[in-house]
Structure 1
């Protein structure tokens, strides 16, 4: 079996009042997936820098990190090769719309947090949103 590769990513659970920012992409089989913005770390980038950059690139929103969330880990396969992906997550607040989503994302939508809990595709994302909500309001 080919050696597994490691992919390091970071992302954000972004809030604006009672709403949370979700993205819709398609999985490898073309099915819609509702999730949070995330992406790979560039060379020399910290997880926090990557998360802010990826949220901006994928959603068009400039944000501020409010708190650390968990790190998720999962395996995926592409072109016959296995990869272990780790994603460092941050709780963020939206500051301003500063751009347009890149081509990776099919839809960006602000959704009430309760609606988001039912819309997210993966149980790990539901758990991540629940964790962010359990931290309470932002400390400003």
Structure 2
């Protein structure tokens, strides 16, 4: 379903997080490994025609990680080029709820990591930058000190 050269690709995703196993530690972030690109990123994907961005973000998290989540504050929108097409990815912070990961052709592994380890593992700098924004955003909401 490709559009004309230069047509905007709309996508959405979440910085999926969970409370740490050890009280007092910071949140753990979920990263997905995509074997097609051999990269680590946040769960995200293209929106379906007419799909609301938040609905699409929650759908993509469930499809890629197996986890339902509770959406929180919006995070900055990433804008970059993919080939000759501009791409826009809307992000939200989202706390993991129930779920179980099942490997697929699209995502073969997930990793729950501290924010600093996640920042190091992420393939793209634009994703690593989003970790800093996530941390300051949840600190502002009072979720974590």
Q: TM-score range by the shorter chain?
A: 0.7 to 0.9
Secondary structure at the counterpart of residue 135 of structure 1: helix
Secondary structure at the counterpart of residue 90 of structure 1: strand
Q: TM-score, normalised by structure 1?
A: 0.85
Q: 1:91 to 1:121 in 2, by over 3 A?
A: same
2:29 paired with 1:24: no
Q: 1:74 to 1:62 in 2, by over 3 A?
A: same
The answer for the alignment partner of 2:70 in structure 1 is 64
Aligned-partner Cα distance in 1 for 2:43–2:122: 12
RMSD: 1.9
The correspondence of residues 106-125 of structure 1 with structure 2, limited to 5 A, is 106-125=108-127
Is contact 1:62-1:98 (8 Å) kept?
Answer: no
Structure with the higher fraction of residues in strand conformation? 1
- 1:22-51 residue CA offsets vs partner (Å, 9 max, x unmatched): 0011465xxx21110101111221100000
Aligned-partner Cα distance in 1 for 2:5–2:67: 37
The correspondence of residues 4-43 of structure 1 with structure 2, limited to 5 A, is 4-17=6-19, 18-26=27-35, 32-43=38-49
Give the count of matched residue pairs. Answer: 132
The correspondence of residues 45-56 of structure 1 with structure 2, limited to 5 A, is 45-56=51-62
The answer for the alignment partner of 1:91 in structure 2 is 93
Q: TM-score, normalised by structure 2?
A: 0.82
Residue 96 of structure 1: CA displacement?
Answer: 0.7
